[in-house]
Amino acid sequence: MPEDRTESYLEGLRFEWKDIDFSATAQARKLAAPPLEKPYGKDRPLVRLPPIEAIEKPGLSLVDAILARKSRRKFSGEALSLQELALLLYCTQGVKSQNERRSLRTVPSGGARHAFETYLYLERVDGIGPGLYRYLALEHALVLERELDGADRASLDEALNGQLYGAAAYFIWTALPERMAWRYSFAAAKLLALDAGHVCQNLYLACEAIACGTCAIGAYDQAKMDAFLGLDGRLEFAVYMAPVGKIDPTS
Ligand SMILES: Cc1cc2nc3c(=O)[nH]c(=O)nc-3n(C[C@H](O)[C@H](O)[C@H](O)COP(=O)(O)O)c2cc1C
C-alpha cells in the first residue's frame, strides 16, 4: 500500500503563528519585496479593459447571487463581451488603490500580499483574438502571453485532466510564493490557500450576476499545467482554475 502522506501535507495548514520567526523573514532582513505584479515586456501591446466605473452594474442582489451560485459545467456557445470579462477580472483581482508597497483589491489577502497572477485562456471573447493572456491587475489590462496553436486546446484539456467543459474563457490562477513568504515565511502556503478561495468565490458570484457560470477546478495535472503556462513550477505555479461561459439555459 502506498504511504499515506495526508498528515505530512496537512502540516502546512496547522501550525502556531508564534512559531513564525518574524525577525528572520526576508522583510525583516530588509530584502527587496518581490514586485506586486509579475513584470511583463514593456514593448508588448496591451489590451486595455473598460474601467469598472464604465461597466453597467448588474441588478442581481448579492444575496440572490449567493443563493443562485452553483458549479456549472455546461455552457452555451456564446462569446463573453469585453465588459463582462473586465467585470469578472475586476471582481476577482481588481485593484482599488495601490502604492509602491502594496495594493488593495476587491478580494482580501493576508497582509495585502496578493501573491497570485491570473492567466486567461480565451476562446470566445468579443473583440479579443483567441490566445493565452495574463491580467495585469495594476494596469487593468491584458497582455498576450502567446497566440494559440492547434495543439494548445488539447494540451489544456490534458492539463485539466479532461475538464475543458467547452467554456468561452478559462481563468488560471498561479501563486508566486515569494510574494507571500517575504513577510510570512512558512505560513505562506496556508495564506495562499486561504486567499485562493476568496478569489474563486468572487468569480462564482460575479458570474451569477451576469448570467455566466463557472466551476472551481482543483483536480488538474500540476506538471502539465505549469508547462502549459511556461512556468518553472517553483517560483510560480498553477494553484486553481475556473472555466467561464454564458449559462446554458437547458442545464
Ligand atoms: C477547492 C475546490 C476544488 C474543486 N475541484 C473541482 C474539479 O476539479 N472538478 C470539478 O468538476 N469540480 C470541482 N469543484 C467543484 C465541486 O465539485 C463543487 O463545488 C461541489 O460539488 C459542490 O457543488 P456546488 O459548487 O454546485 O455547490 C471544486 C470545488 C472546490 C471548492
Task: For 128-140, write each residue's pLDDT tens digit.
Answer: 999 999 999 999 9
Give the pLDDT score at 152.
Answer: 96
- Is 43-218+227-246 in CATH node 3.40.50.300? no
Report how far residue 243's alpha carbon sits from residue 174's, in angstroms, rounded to the nearest whole number. Answer: 15
pLDDT in tens, 198-250: 999 999 999 999 999 999 999 999 999 999 999 999 999 999 999 999 999 88
- CA distances, 133 to each of 17, 20, 145, 244 (Å): 37, 36, 5, 15
Q: What is the pTM of this model?
A: 0.97
- Provide the residue ranges of all domains of the chain, joining segments of one domain with +: 43-218+227-246
Output the residue whose Cα is nearest ligand 1's atom 31: 216
Where does the pLDDT of residue 2 fall: very low under 50, low under 70, confident under 90, or very high at 90 and above?
confident
Given a cut of 90, whether residue 170 has pLDDT beyond it is: yes
Mean pLDDT of all residues belonging to the chain:
96
Pocket of ligand 1 (CB under 6 A): 70-71, 73, 163, 215-219
Amino acid (one-letter) located at 147 = E
Give the pLDDT score at 46.
Answer: 95
Output the residue whose Cα is nearest ligand 1's atom 29: 216
* CB atoms closer than 10 angstroms to residue 146: 11
Q: Which residues contact 120 (CB under 8 A, 6 or more apart)?
A: 85, 132, 133, 134, 135, 142, 169, 170, 171, 172
pLDDT in tens, 78-117: 999 999 999 999 999 999 999 999 999 999 999 999 999 9
Given a cut of 90, whether residue 1 has pLDDT beyond it is: no
Closest atom, ligand 1, to C-alpha of 73: 11
Given a cut of 80, whether residue 25 has pLDDT beyond it is: yes
Output the residue whose Cα is nearest ligand 1's atom 6: 217
Give the pLDDT score at 3.
Answer: 84
